[in-house]
Amino acid sequence: MKANRTWLSYAIITTVFWGVWGALIEVPQKAGFPPTLGYIVWSLTMIPCALVALYLVKWKIEKDKRSIILGSAVGLLGAGGQLLLFQALKEGPAYIIFPFISLYPTLTILLSVLILKERTSVLKWAGIGIALVAIYFLSYQEPGASDSRGYLWLGLSLLVFAAWGLQAYVMKFSNETMKAESIFFYMAITALLLSPFAWWMTDFSQTINWGFKGPYLAALIHVLNSIGALMLVYALRYGKAIIVVPLTGLAPVITIILSLILYAVFPGLMLTIGLVLAVIAMFILSL
């Protein structure tokens, strides 16, 4: 029972923090701070979280070859997927890309069942299925004025889907032999190593806000994402990936509720369906 409460607590923190992050992330972007530079700021916010995690284990990091490879793989899959998503959104329609990528937990679940042999009850499987459907509805976006330029976006979307689905699986697999703190340390290092690519992808011909509403506000917002990522590693240490990943994937529920309060953005039919399904799924998965 104690273990169940442990994974659930960490998963809830991740879901809430990512949900708040999702509601606020557009603030610096609308103020003139590009998302690619936001990625660099996010990678920097990983550092204090990693330092806190390492302090808790008295700075003892697994340095063997296997741990370095696994920890780096988790970081590269997550951060690399984020960079690929930036490019996919430049090439194709967001209203197709986001719902498709949001279903990456299906890959995590498949790998966890086939390789890690994770099992759960019929009721929990129903909750997982409802959560996946809810994630799709919550990620739905109305078609915009412009669609795509070719099909490069489709290939990039597939890569992001695979990267994020594999990341959660490798994160759970790594927790079998590594401390969660070491995994997050390598995640932070790899995120920083990819920062030059984000700089290269930035369009510096546009006006960039370097004031408080730019990098400084972005840092305050992105640290929520970093803390959520650390909590996810802990959640996967104690809980099953087939349950934790779909549950944390429901963070858009928090995002929509906060957007309704802050921006008076009222959910349409698709989002309303997603909200109802998400509430049902969260209840089942948290039992």
Annotated domain spans of the chain:
2-285
Mean pLDDT per 10-residue run, the chain (287 residues)? Answer: 72 92 87 91 95 92 92 93 86 74 85 86 84 80 58 84 92 91 94 94 91 94 94 92 86 83 77 82 74
pLDDT at 1: 41
pLDDT at 114: 87
Query: To 10 degrees, what angle do helices 35-56 and 217-238 make?
Result: 50
pLDDT at 77: 94
Q: What is the pTM of this model?
A: 0.86
pLDDT at 190: 95
pLDDT at 148: 53
Q: How far apart are CA 163 and CA 206, in angstroms?
A: 30
Q: How far apart are CA 23 and CA 264, in angstroms?
A: 12
Query: To 10 degrees, what angle do helices 269-285 and 252-263 make?
Result: 130
pLDDT at 92: 75
Location of structure tokens 């279903």: 103
Residues 242, 115: contact at Cβ < 8 Å? no
